[in-house]
Amino acid sequence: GAGVSQSPSNKVTEKGKDVELRCDPISGHTALYWYRQSLGQGLEFLIYFQGNSAPDKSGLPSDRFSAERTGGSVSTLTIQRTQQEDSAVYLCASSLGQYGGAGELFFGEGSRLTVL
Amino acid sequence: AQSVTQLGSHVSVSEGALVLLRCNYSSSVPPYLFWYVQYPNQGLQLLLKYTTGATLVKGINGFEAEFKKSETSFHLTKPSAHMSDAAEYFCAVSPRNYKLTFGKGTLLTVNP
């Protein structure tokens, strides 16, 4: 497809389990972002990739969170030993160029994570 | 550092009425400013952006916003609301690099 694709769209897991969330950006977009959207909290920046490198991972909440990007394309966000406070919608976005094309991010529909 | 404050987490208007969604920002450098819209169960979509030049910017679906540096504001308006405008709206600021900082969002309800 032409847009940003995320999977799974919904994930229910038990506290303490690990989860992986996948993002397939728009072809040719070198910049990739992960944001977390919690009820009433807006969008919280997690990590930024330029190519396969992550020059800014300042938003990752703890060392249970990690992300990688391979081939300058697909990215995976991994949450280890999930906690209930990790429940949120995880949004991936991509954009052209190093400076994000003056801010035009293209977002996927998100992966809704529920930790029981 | 950048920050965004959206006044009013929920705004309700009647169909045909003026829509005004408020956004104030702080930035240590001249900013880029954006409004994004999120329809239910969808990702965010860019409505409009200010980078340089004219301070009144027009976006999709009849929305516009005016950058007022003296007031550090970037309020979003539409003269006449339509039912299809019901969505959540996010204001965002960037220090002219990759990093976008979003506000907490304003949910717009349009009543028939």
CA nearest B36: which of A90, A105, A31?
A: A105
Residue A56, chain B, CB below 8 Å: the answer is yes
pLDDT band at A36 (very low <50, low <70, confident <90, very high): very high
pLDDT per residue over A64-76, tens digit each? 999 999 998 999 9
Residue-level pLDDT at B52: 84
- Mean pLDDT across the stretch A29-56? 91
Rounded CA-CA distance A38/B93 in Å is 19
Chain B residues within 8 A of A94 when measuring between CB atoms: none
Contact B102 A43 (CB under 8 A): yes
Q: Could A105 and B94 be called an inter-chain contact, meaning their C-beta atoms sit closer than 8 Å?
A: no
pLDDT tens-digit readout, B2-59: 899 999 999 999 999 999 999 999 988 888 999 999 998 888 999 999 988 888 999 9
CA-CA distance, B85 to B41, in Å (whole number)?
15
Mean pLDDT of chain A: 92
B104 touches chain A (CB under 8 A): yes
* Percent of chain A's residues with pLDDT above 70: 93
- Residue range B66-92: average pLDDT? 96
Q: What pLDDT score does A102 carry?
A: 64
Give Cβ neighbours of residue B53 (< 8 Å, ≥ 6 apart). Answer: none
